[in-house]
A and B are shown apart, each in its own frame.
Chain A
């Protein structure tokens, strides 16, 4: 072995304690006299430490990643499964050992958050980033075998899943529930019973009941003094500071947004009261929707289909991907009346244009022989019939001075898309710009007045949203804006990722994928059981209030709250159907669930008979009844029994309810299946749509390329012809004239 290697070995053995006492003494002696050896010891120590650090860093990253992964997925479907499994185990355990345990098992789920200590002392941590949500703990209920489970007086089938957030009341907070509910807590929102401002940490507890599963298991019916309600979701709030209940300052209420797939009309917000251990909804109040500023680069103001068309025309001017800036600049360069702005100079000066990127127009103008009728007719068309919004206007409004007005909102972007389609779009757009300080709905109705019947509808609907102005949301705006921007960015990112993912696929793979997703959608729609979410759809963010629709309202109370509209199902009389419960035991409850309209009604029981009322046959409401379900649940000494049936109330006379032993996880699975308020279908659709769009774009692109090739062929034939003609002429000239040498002689003579 070479000397250096020997030294390395020696040092290594020394550092690892592998030298005998004599060897060690000898080595140390040697070490004292050799700077070189000393250096080697130092470096080898560093080497070993660096190896350890590098490996440790990897290990840390992996552990954290797994930890995070668990946390993220727990918010989703999988989480439900975990939770259910966990519950099952606890149940088993508690029954076997019959040890009395706490009512709650605390599991920390969201750790990516803390900015505040929950010790009640005022914290001086600066919270510059309002998106950083407060400390979150989730209390996961443990099934108990108590005779009755109750939650603040409400009798429930399981302990509600209470999400706990630690909020700094001085700065306020942005809270996102695991099912997507957004709560903005404005600064200084909490007061004690003497109306004194609370400054110590507030424990903010929230229960979300947005799904059938939660509603039924929390025994939350949707009736208001006997009237049926259609629900958009229910929530429960509770606020404490150092264990004492605190109130919300009515002048600084919470702003709550609940995600929904579609906005139903006439929704109101109801307050819950517990009567005889059941909930009744009272005091309906109108919803209130605030406008939220979003960064311009996250909003789309371009006409529908513009970006997609650009994609099919690529590559163009050296661009191969449709980057936002490029698409924007391309749009801005268009003139409403004259086609393209200084087209010629733009293209001529550009030497970087590759052969593919020469537009059709240029090829046509360069060769007189190619039929150019299509282009000229297009030009004439565009000059004569163009209407819509002048790109210059769009460019102008997407600037800083408008960034804090209602122009920079998702809602305004929706209006711009419609304005693009209108003949006087540009003038109508001006109306919004001229009325920035008015309510958006004011301008909406101005526009309705100026529109003919045909186009009126859309803006009528806009006006009906009764949107106000940015400045109204003052105490919420910063937090809302930060949250919306974050969500929009996430959404944009995931949509782009999806696009990239799909672009990588070839035709065959893309076809396969489209078929696959068609299947998924069918299965999901038919609800033939829960499907495992396919990877691509799973990448898309779950519905949230920023990128989807939402119901929103201000709220300043603890307790239950419900977003509903009255159903007038039975206004024209009713038909009765009786359900006979053959084996009721313990606490039993029978529910009627209408999945088309999200109505859950606990039925009144009289002995073993529960009665359900339905709209009379052939009434307009009867068609909503075709997906009627009867659920029955009972609980005795911690054991659940279950019954479910889907039926058409106009085809049968009575329902015989036979409860079968079941478990909570099974019941939950069934309820998930029957819940149509699931945005999975929407995400599946999105993947399918995007894949089909890519297929179409490719087809168009292929056709364009073929056309280009043909035209290029024509050009080269023409050029070949010209070249040949020139050669002939040259040849003839050389015979006809004295050229070349003779030229010099002549020039001297004259």
Chain B
């Protein structure tokens, strides 16, 4: 599959084939992570995170491809793994061959924001399944509130909306609690 095909598929929301295609990079990334002190789980985690960052980047309208996608993914993974090692106070030099050296700036990586997003993911997991379902349908699947109200059995669009805002309020409150 060509890179531009992968990109247009991701942008169209067809992630299945692109992910399978990009997964081919996993073994190489895994071998590198394991050779610098990581294990299988760490490799999987890093790979997932790198893939998410890549998909987020691709979905940005301003995204322009300057290298091969696989190389880009590989570079992000290396960046994330280095980051992880730094967190563990290990400053290994990573000799990954043929890699893009990606800096925080290159991918707009903001440590503070990443930490917040991670915290928010945990908060989301603690919400009711109904809240989670509404959120996922609205923000991820881009479904309209009308469809959501029907699918989840709300009596009206408005009551679904109110439920959504209440769920958001709860999440925002939990986030504020964590901050303080």
Contact = CB atoms under 8 A, between A and B. Distances in A.
Interface of A: 1, 4-5, 8-9, 12, 40, 43-44, 46-57, 59-61, 63-64, 67, 108, 111-115, 117, 123-129, 132, 135
Interface string B143-162: 00000000000000000011
A540 to B, nearest CB: 22
Kindly list the 6 A-B residue pairs having the minimum CB-CB distance in the complex, ordered from nearest. A50-B120, A114-B27, A115-B31, A55-B140, A51-B139, A114-B28
A39 B136 CA distance: 23
A117 B70 CA distance: 13
A468 to B, nearest CB: 32
Contacts of B55: 56
B11 interface: no
A117 B35 contact: no
B65 interface: no
Contacts of B120: 46-47, 49-50
Contact of B35 (A46, A111, A129): A129
B15 A63 contact: yes
B118 to A, nearest CB: 8
A40 B165 contact: no
A125 to B, nearest CB: 6
B98 A117 contact: yes
Interface of B: 15-16, 19-20, 23-24, 26-28, 30-32, 34-36, 48, 51-52, 55-56, 95-98, 113, 116-117, 120-121, 123-125, 135-136, 138-141, 161-162, 165-166, 168-169, 171-172, 175-176
B20 A67 contact: yes
Given A49-B117, A113-B27, A132-B31, A124 B162 contact: no
Given A50-B120, A117-B98, A125-B97, A5 B31 contact: no
A115 B139 contact: no
Contact of B166 (A5, A115, A117, A135): A5
A413 B43 CA distance: 35
Contacts of A4: 169
A53 B172 CA distance: 17
A223 B155 CA distance: 79
B36 to A, nearest CB: 8
A60 B56 CA distance: 13
B140 A51 contact: yes
B172 A40 contact: yes
Interface centre among B95, B113, B141, B172, by most A CB within 10 Å?
Answer: B172
Contacts of B24: 108, 111, 114
B136 A55 contact: yes
Nearest to B59: A52
A341 to B, nearest CB: 39
28 contacts: A8-B168, A8-B169, A43-B172, A47-B135, A47-B175, A50-B120, A50-B123, A51-B135, A51-B136, A51-B138, A55-B139, A55-B141, A56-B140, A57-B52, A60-B15, A60-B19, A108-B24, A114-B24, A114-B31, A124-B97, A125-B96, A126-B36, A126-B95, A127-B31, A128-B34, A129-B34, A132-B34, A135-B27
Contacts of A124: 95, 97
A623 B103 CA distance: 74
A170 to B, nearest CB: 13
Contacts of A132: 27, 30-31, 34
Contacts of A128: 34-35
A55 B121 CA distance: 10
Given A50-B124, A60-B48, A111 B23 contact: yes
A455 to B, nearest CB: 46
Contacts of B16: 63
Nearest to A123: B97
Given A46-B120, A53-B52, A125-B96, 20 more contacts: A5-B162, A5-B166, A8-B168, A9-B161, A9-B165, A43-B172, A47-B171, A47-B172, A47-B175, A50-B123, A52-B139, A53-B121, A54-B124, A57-B48, A59-B15, A64-B20, A111-B27, A114-B31, A117-B98, A125-B97
A4 B141 CA distance: 26
Contacts of B15: 56, 59-60, 63
Contacts of A54: 121, 124-125, 136
Contacts of A52: 56, 139-140
A63 B19 contact: yes
A120 to B, nearest CB: 13
A64 B19 contact: yes
Contacts of B140: 51-52, 55-56
Nearest to A40: B172
A40 B168 CA distance: 11
Nearest to B15: A59
Given A60-B52, A126-B95, A43 B175 contact: yes
Contacts of B98: 117
A44 B48 contact: no
Contacts of A111: 23-24, 26-27
A57 B35 CA distance: 25
A191 B24 CA distance: 30
